[in-house]
């Protein structure tokens, strides 16, 4: 929870209350950073392996690189940064819906390979897990 004192924002609540939120932001940031690097460095190879176009890997990688930095900043900031935690929950929910839409659309959107379908499904599950952890962490913070 955040309180305004003397014109400055300050953290409210114990460090233990923010531990789950910090952990979930760090985990999400770590995985997002790895996927960003993989997407940016291996877009051409991933295109052939997964059936997702190069432009999508580039866009995903660029977004996730910025997202990962933001999550790590929030997780290591002295005050619990509730707005970034809320944004992470929302973005993870949107990402999960996007993964489900890609899987539901099938070949009409992208010619996914079996590995590509597994990849999109795994990413969808992972963001649901991260978003759920972040939501639970936000509830503890208050």
* Per-residue pLDDT tens over the stretch 70-111: 999 999 998 878 899 999 999 999 999 999 999 999 888 999
| Domain contains 8 | no
- Provide the domain count of the chain: 1
| Domain housing 102 | 17-141
Residue 125 covered by a domain = yes
CA distance 132 to 126: 10
Describe the crossing of helices 54-76 and 43-50 by its angle, rounded to 10 degrees.
110
Residue 7 in domain: no
Determine what percent of the chain is predicted with pLDDT higher than 70.
88
Ranking 7-11, 107-111, 112-116, 125-129 by mean pLDDT, the lowest is: 7-11
Task: Indicate whether 9 belongs to any domain.
Answer: no
Q: Which residue did the predictor score with more confidence, 93 or 1?
A: 93
CA atoms of 118 and 103, how far apart (whole Å): 9
Domain contains 83: yes
Predicted local confidence at residue 15, as pLDDT: 58
Is the pLDDT at 4 greater than 70? The verdict is no
Average pLDDT for 12-40: 87
Residue 95 falls within a domain, yes or no?
yes
105's tokens: 């659309």
Q: Supply the pLDDT for residue 9.
A: 43
How remote is the C-alpha of 55 from its chain's centroid? 19
Name the DSSP letter for residue 65: H
Ramachandran assignment for 31, one of left (phi > 0), alpha (psi -120 to 50 degrees), beta (any other): alpha
Residue 5 lies in a domain: no
Whether pLDDT at 6 is above 80 = no
Would you say residue 60 lies in a domain?
yes
Lowest mean pLDDT segment, chosen from 7-16, 42-51, 69-78: 7-16
Query: What CA–CA distance (Å, rounded) separates 131 from 83?
Result: 14
Measuring CA to CA, which residue among 1, 126, 136, 15 is closest to residue 64? Answer: 126
Q: With bands split at pLDDT 50, 70 and 90, how would you rate the model's confidence at 58?
A: very high
């Amino acid at each position: 929870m955040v309180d305004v004192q003397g014109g400055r924002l300050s953290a409210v609540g114990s460090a233990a209350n923010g531990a789950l939120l910090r952990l979930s932001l760090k985990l999400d940031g770590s995985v997002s950073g790895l996927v960003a690097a993989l997407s940016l460095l291996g877009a051409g190879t991933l295109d052939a392996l997964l059936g997702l176009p190069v432009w999508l890997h580039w866009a995903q990688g660029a977004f996730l690189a910025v997202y990962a930095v933001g999550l790590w900043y929030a997780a290591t900031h002295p005050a619990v940064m509730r707005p970034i935690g809320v944004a992470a929950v929302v973005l993870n929910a949107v990402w999960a819906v996007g993964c489900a839409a890609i899987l539901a659309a099938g070949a009409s959107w992208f010619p996914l390979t079996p590995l590509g379908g597994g990849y999109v499904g795994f990413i969808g599950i992972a963001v649901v897990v991260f978003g759920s952890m972040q939501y639970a962490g936000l509830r503890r913070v208050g």
